[in-house]
Amino acid sequence: MHVIFRESHGLDETDTPTDLGQSPAELVVLSFSDSDLGAFAEGWRRGKDGLPTLRLANLSALRHPLSVDTYVERTLEGATGILIRLIGGAPYWSYGLQQVQTMARQRGIALAVLPADGRPDETLDRASTLPVSTLRRLQHLCDTGGAVAAQAALQQMALASGLYAGPVRGQKALPMVGAWTPEHGPCCPVVALPGVSPPDPQGISPRMKGRALVVFYRSYLVAADTAPVAAVIEALRARGFDAMGLFVPSLKAPDAANWLRRQVAFWRPDAIVNATAFSGKGDDGTSPLDAGGVPVFQVALSTASEAAWAEAERGLSPADLAMHVVLPEMDGRIMAGVTSFKEPGARDADLQFARLAHRPQMERIAAIADRVAAWVRLGKTGARARRPALVLSTYPGRDWNMAHAVGLDAVASTQAILSDLGDAGYDVAPVADLTGKLAARDVAWPLKKYRAALEGLPESLRDELDAAWGGPEDDPDAVDGAFRFAAIRNGGAWIALQPERGVPDTKDDDYHDLARVPRHAYVAFYLWLRQRADAVVHIGAHGTLEWLPGKAVALSDTCWPEALIGSMPVIYPFIVNDPGEAAQAKRRIGAVTLGHVPPPLKPSGTPDRFAHLEALLDEFSNADGLDPKRRDRLQEDIRAEAGALGVEADLGVDAATCPAEAITRIDRFVCDVKEGQFGDGLHVWGRENAFDDGRGERQALLDALAGIRIEAGPSGSPYRGRTDVLPTGRNLYTVDARAIPTQAAYTQGQRLADELVRRHLQDEGDWPRTLVVDLWGSSTMRTAGEDFAMALALMGVRPVWDDGSGRVSGVEILPIAELDRPRVDVTLRISGLFRDTFPMLSRLHGQAVRALSQRDEAPDWNPFVGQTGARVFGPAPGSFGLGLDPHDYSDGARERAGQAWLAASAWAHDGDVPQRDADGIRDRVRRAEAFVHAQDLAESDLLLAGDYATHEAGFAAAQAVTGGRARIWHLDNTDPARPRTRALPEEIARVVHARAANPGWIAGMMRHGFRGGAEIAATLEHMAAFAQLAGAVAPHLFDAYYEATLGRDEVVAFLRERNPDALQAMRDRFEALRDAGLWQTRRNSILAELSQ
């Protein structure tokens, strides 16, 4: 009998160990809250002559198990009483709590473990060694807060520990809830607060521009740590607001939430600034801040120092990002910025503790107040007088592809929005020939005015601009002393094309490159627009403003997105299935992202060219087992037909393939094509769709422009079971990264791993040993981490989830006996968005690798043994995209693209600090036996967006550089119950037959005029990219697409009329492919047409 051992490792093991260096004392207080610790420090000082000795420590410094063990041994073992305050319960400090309670019981130490969020927690009661009655007294005092109450709590702990403590004098009580102003302090009831105008039926006094409420934690008040709150209130008052604060212990404490809800309704604010953390939603799905029906602006009180923030590309730590950004987004709040940073005070020698307090950052607070004022001003302006700017994208920067938006006809949507605005009383009208008028670039802005406006930007940005591009007169869009913008004046509104951020020959690389400074014309456009518009409505996913250089979140005035958009409100219709890039817009330009549905799905059916092959397969199915001679003849006919169609080549079937396997694979491929789906046309904003009449989208945009709060809504695909994303028109939010992967996602990840191993074993005759998994941020958000979970499952690892919270706290190593196959050495290639959103997953993967490297297992079954090199690679901090050109056909172009892929993947991200490791990624690529990218959206495919080619085919180019020979797998996860692994050429062939060359898809696009023509041309561009980078597109597939598009008179006539530039682009692309040797057609008709 063999004993199977499981091995678990906590995520806290990835933190850096620290030694606080504190000597023992009689009492110890531990908390995650600096406000708590500050109050205990003040309480001890006011009564220290009658109190035991004391040590204070922040639990954030005691996350690593080694830090805990050291502190227990050197400090806690000498204590008589220990008080711990936990936010979020036991899961937030599980290892530490386990060690402390074990030690306390062994040594007879008085231990009180108390919840810090105002809610009872029986788990913490059981962890304590004191009676529940004592715990409740301590809880009351801690919840009361302040120096006097803290002194009383220390007195109670001393007595419970058998120590002497003197009497406590002074008023212990501070209201649990109340109003607060910098000049008067706390006051309850609120209506008695001096200096604040009570609401009246006529609203705010004419001298006031509006009323604003600032909601903050009571703990800041009791710790005398209200400087940031005071600064925000004063900044709002300086802009004409009647502003005051409301303090609560928590938005979720039931009594406090009810009180706050009543106050918001009573005061009828025009805006709310929220300085509390997390989501405020209760069991009924609402937050007390919703009661006002007005925008709620989220501000972050960072736990980092200002110096650390100034240097960091990411802006906020993972914990601050979750607390102050991600979870508040679930309530529909608008990210307004960071107000303050933690700075230490003088170290107290008696306590061996230095209190950290919030220090306001006045420049950022001014920017926050400006943003609030701009939104309130927008809402108070009458519809007729409002000046919205409807901005369309130019990505990927070709004239025939202007107004690009994922799944949305941005041109028709602009016309639809103009109609809706007109019906609502705006001074707008429909525009005939919108794209033609935009292309004319009739709006001029003199360089003299641009230079004057440019002086308003920080000097460092002006220097960057000049260093990168020279003077504004050198910009190609500067003509006759003025910039020319693609813009149209429409009554009180503007319609404009977002300019190129770079010059035409580098535009593809510019799109996601955070390191590239925008050129003068781009900067000029936004400075010009800010003088003319009250709000920007960016039509569809997505533009480039949110990808400009700067921090990932909590931007500064020297971050380009902040510098250009300023305080202008941004409203962003965005496809509901793309949470990652919507989050980028929310966090970097403060956008309200209004979800819209994807296009309706339509079944592919059997292509006409496959009709005879399908009939032969059906006949074979009926004949199999009945007539051997007939069966054998049909096998030959099927293979001959499949060979003539190019299907055998697409599937890698050749003369050596056994007949039964060949027929099975051909039949499966034909079924896959027949059962495929594609988006039938494009969605038009606010119009009838497959799910509803579009009313929710229409109203949401009108409400946002009117300064009305937009309800939050989840993101995901309605075609993958996420019906909770409906109705659309809500303000999109993402997921709590700390809960990824979920348990359901891990179950699906195991299914994906099994399917991938099955296909690889079938084709290669051996288990996969080394693998590269391509991970994107948006798909990880949509699926709650199924791709990442697959990577863990391949390694023989699974997450450990905390009970109650469901958050991932570590990994468990599964025994090989349970796996029943060798472990797979998995390297992750992560996108920039994944890097910034899920740093804990990169660390978790690294932790799993290190644990596996130390296992006593045979190397044949565990390839990690003795190997501790990095296994998570991606772009450099602050950089996005791959920076390769898939349409360069010159000598050495594929090698240059491969080198670019390697250079953009050369940073290791599985430790505390990213490290450049160019040799490491080259080695992982060279050793890889397979590369896999998983696709979860049924409404998309690898020929609908250029990112698939740059990532998947870009890897093919990279491995050619390194000498690798990996199989490239495309894992179809669109139907969770039936994942399918296909080789890259097979998947491309499936998509060409099922969607691209399908007359139904082309007819759907022809309903959308200019944008439909652009989509038809774009599919050819993406096919060409796969051909150039990976050689993965067979000539007959280009033949099929040519015949379905330029080979049909009605399609050519449509393109000539509605988008002639797209028609010319397609002709040019086909000729370039032929000239480069990437497409050799044998069709005389095609050759004749190309030669004309």
The token pair at 969 is 């797998």
Q: Identify the weakest region by mean pLDDT among 234-238, 400-404, 422-426, 655-659.
A: 655-659
Give me the pLDDT at residue 913, please: 87
528 residue type, one letter: W
Same fold, 10-160 and 384-443+490-596: yes
| Edge-first strand listing for the sheet containing 478-479 | 443-446, 482-485, 478-479
CA 872/CA 568 separation, integer angstroms: 38
Q: Could you give the count of Cα atoms lying within 13 Å of 823 in the half-sphere of its Cβ?
A: 27
Task: Judge whether residue 24 has pLDDT over 60.
Answer: yes
The whole-angstrom distance between residue 735's C-alpha and the CA centroid of its chain comes to 8
Q: Identify the weakest region by mean pLDDT among 184-188, 217-221, 414-418.
A: 184-188
Condensed to tens digits (0 to 9), the pLDDT of residues 402-456 reads 999 999 999 999 999 999 999 999 999 999 999 999 999 999 999 999 999 999 9
Task: Judge whether residue 480 has pLDDT over 70.
Answer: yes
Taking residues 1018-1036, report their average pLDDT. 98
5 residue type, one letter: F
Taking residues 649-677, report their average pLDDT. 95
The model's confidence at residue 165, banded by pLDDT at 50, 70 and 90, is very high
Q: What is the DSSP letter of 323?
A: I
CA dihedral 971→973→974→980, nearest 10 degrees, is 60
Contacts of 631 (CB under 8 A, 6+ apart): 620, 623, 624, 625
Contacts of 63 (CB under 8 A, 6+ apart): 12, 15, 93, 96
> What SS3 class is residue 603?
strand
207 burial (CB, 10 Å; 0-12 / 13-18 / 19+) is exposed
Give me the pLDDT at residue 791, please: 99
For the domain made up of 178-377, give the CATH fold. Answer: Rossmann fold (3.40.50)
For the domain made up of 10-160, give the CATH fold. Answer: Rossmann fold (3.40.50)
The model's confidence at residue 268, banded by pLDDT at 50, 70 and 90, is very high
Q: What is the DSSP letter of 739?
A: G
Query: Can you give 993-1006 as a three-state secondary structure string?
Result: HHHHCCHHHHHHHH
Query: What stretches of 735-848 adopt beta strand conformation (E)?
Result: 770-775, 797-801, 808-813, 825-830
Condensed to tens digits (0 to 9), the pLDDT of residues 1042-1061 reads 999 999 999 999 999 999 99
Distances in whole angstroms, Cα of residue 647 to Cα of each of 7, 650, 872, 944: 47, 5, 36, 22
Query: Can you give 932-998 as a three-state secondary structure string?
Result: EEEECCCCCCCCCCHHHHHHHHHHHHHHHHHCCCCEEEEEECCCCCCCEEEEHHHHHHHHHHHHHCC
The model's confidence at residue 197, banded by pLDDT at 50, 70 and 90, is low
Taking residues 645-655, report their average pLDDT. 95
CA 461/CA 559 separation, integer angstroms: 8
The model's confidence at residue 198, banded by pLDDT at 50, 70 and 90, is low
Task: Judge whether residue 515 has pLDDT over 80.
Answer: no
The token pair at 921 is 């990624």
Degrees, nearest 5: CA angle 877-881-884: 125
Give me the pLDDT at residue 938, please: 96
Report the predicted TM-score, pTM, of the whole model to 2 decimal places. Answer: 0.92
Give me the pLDDT at residue 397, please: 64
Taking residues 483-499, report their average pLDDT. 97
Query: What stretches of 441-542 adopt beta strand conformation (E)?
Result: 443-446, 478-479, 482-485, 487-490, 493-497, 535-538
Q: What is the DSSP letter of 683?
A: B
Query: Can you give 235-265 as a three-state secondary structure string?
Result: HHHHCCEEEEEEEECCCCCHHHHHHHHHHHH
- Residues 875 and 905 sit within 8 Å (Cβ to Cβ): yes
CA 592/CA 201 separation, integer angstroms: 30
Give me the pLDDT at residue 206, please: 45
The model's confidence at residue 119, banded by pLDDT at 50, 70 and 90, is confident
CA 834/CA 329 separation, integer angstroms: 18
Give me the pLDDT at residue 174, please: 78
Condensed to tens digits (0 to 9), the pLDDT of residues 921-952 reads 999 999 999 999 999 999 999 999 999 999 99
Task: Judge whether residue 513 has pLDDT over 90.
Answer: no
The model's confidence at residue 145, banded by pLDDT at 50, 70 and 90, is confident
Q: Identify the weakest region by mean pLDDT among 202-216, 605-619, 663-677.
A: 202-216
CA 175/CA 35 separation, integer angstroms: 17
Task: Judge whether residue 5 has pLDDT over 50.
Answer: no
Distances in whole angstroms, Cα of residue 914 to Cα of each of 277, 538, 771, 905: 28, 34, 22, 12
User: How many of the other CB atoms lie within 10 Å of CB of 615?
Assistant: 12
- Domain residue spans in the chain? 10-160, 178-377, 384-443+490-596, 606-674, 737-984, 997-1092
Task: Judge whether residue 803 has pLDDT over 80.
Answer: no
Condensed to tens digits (0 to 9), the pLDDT of residues 713-758 reads 999 999 999 999 999 999 999 988 889 999 999 999 999 999 999 9
CA 250/CA 287 separation, integer angstroms: 11
Taking residues 139-154, report their average pLDDT. 91
572 residue type, one letter: Y
List phi, psi (to 5°) of 338: -105, 135
CB neighbour burial string for 583-601, b if at least 16 within 10 angstroms, e if fewer? bbbbbbbbbbbbbbbbbbb
Give me the pLDDT at residue 208, please: 58
- Residues 452 and 462 sit within 8 Å (Cβ to Cβ): no
Contacts of 818 (CB under 8 A, 6+ apart): 4, 796
The whole-angstrom distance between residue 204's C-alpha and the CA centroid of its chain comes to 39
Give me the pLDDT at residue 1060, please: 98
CA 657/CA 638 separation, integer angstroms: 14
Give me the pLDDT at residue 1088, please: 85
Among the listed residues 59, 61, 41, the one whose alpha carbon sits nearest the alpha carbon of residue 51:
41
862 residue type, one letter: N
Among the listed residues 441, 465, 450, 475, the one whose alpha carbon sits nearest the alpha carbon of residue 531:
450
The model's confidence at residue 538, banded by pLDDT at 50, 70 and 90, is very high
Q: Which CB contacts under 8 angstroms, 24+ apart, belong to 254-259?
A: 254/282, 255/176, 255/177, 256/118, 256/176, 256/177, 257/282, 257/288, 258/288, 259/177
Of all residues in the chain, what percent carry a pLDDT higher than 70? 95
224 burial (CB, 10 Å; 0-12 / 13-18 / 19+) is middle
CA 497/CA 485 separation, integer angstroms: 8
Options 3.40.50, 1.20.120, 2.30.30, 2.60.40; which CATH number does 384-443+490-596 get?
3.40.50
Query: Can you give 276-302 as a three-state secondary structure string?
Result: CCCCCCCCCCCCHHHHHCCCEEEEEEC
The model's confidence at residue 192, banded by pLDDT at 50, 70 and 90, is very low
CA 919/CA 923 separation, integer angstroms: 6
Task: Judge whether residue 972 has pLDDT over 50.
Answer: yes
Q: Which CB contacts under 8 angstroms, 24+ apart, belong to 689-696?
A: 689/597, 689/600, 690/597, 690/600, 690/601, 691/597, 691/718, 691/726, 691/727, 691/728, 692/726, 692/727, 696/727, 696/728, 696/729, 696/730
- Average per-residue pLDDT for the chain: 93
Taking residues 208-234, report their average pLDDT. 92
Degrees, nearest 5: CA angle 652-653-659: 160
Condensed to tens digits (0 to 9), the pLDDT of residues 81-93 reads 999 999 878 877 9
Distances in whole angstroms, Cα of residue 266 to Cα of each of 1, 191, 198, 294, 981: 72, 9, 9, 13, 59
User: What single string gives the DSSP state of each residue in 48-61?
Assistant: GGGS--EEEEEGGG
CA 727/CA 723 separation, integer angstroms: 8
Condensed to tens digits (0 to 9), the pLDDT of residues 310-344 reads 998 899 998 899 999 999 999 999 999 999 999 99
β-strands 930-935, 770-775 pairing? parallel
Residue with tokens 């302040």: 146
Asked, as a colleague might, if the bond just before 512 is cis with ω within 30 of 0, I would say no
- Residues 211 and 282 sit within 8 Å (Cβ to Cβ): no
Taking residues 133-158, report their average pLDDT. 93
The token pair at 95 is 């290892």
User: How many of the other CB atoms lie within 10 Å of CB of 656?
Assistant: 6
Contacts of 1065 (CB under 8 A, 6+ apart): 398, 400, 1017, 1021
Give me the pLDDT at residue 172, please: 63
